[in-house]
Amino acid sequence: MPYMTAGKRDYKKQQAYDGKPSVVKDRAKRNKARRDMVDEGKVSKGDGKDVDHKNPLSKGGGTARSNLRVTSKSANRSFARTKTGKMK
C-alpha cells in the first residue's frame, strides 16, 4: 500500500491514492465482478466469500466470467505482496 510508511497509515496520502483515476477504474471493475456473481447467486452479502480474478486486474486480467471464481477471504487475500501492496 503506497500510503503506508513504517507501519503507520498516512491518511492524506491514502485519500490522494484512492482518488486516482486508475484506482477508481479498477475498483469499479472489482465491484462489477462482485455484482455479476451476486446476480448469478454464487455469493451474497456477508457470506465471507471473495470474488477472485484468476488473472489479476493488476496483471492485465479482465472481469469476464471466465476469469472469475469464488474463494474464501483468507485464501484470496493470502498472496505474497511487495511493500507497495502489489502481488509478487
The 10s digit of each residue's pLDDT in 44-84 is 999 999 999 999 888 888 889 999 999 998 888 887 778 87
Query: What's the pLDDT score for residue 3?
Result: 62
Name the β-bridge partners of 50.
Answer: 71
User: Which of 64, 25, 87 minimizes the C-alpha distance to 51?
Assistant: 64
Query: What's the pLDDT score for residue 5?
Result: 66
CA distance 61 to 33: 12
pTM: 0.69
Query: What's the pLDDT score for residue 40?
Result: 93
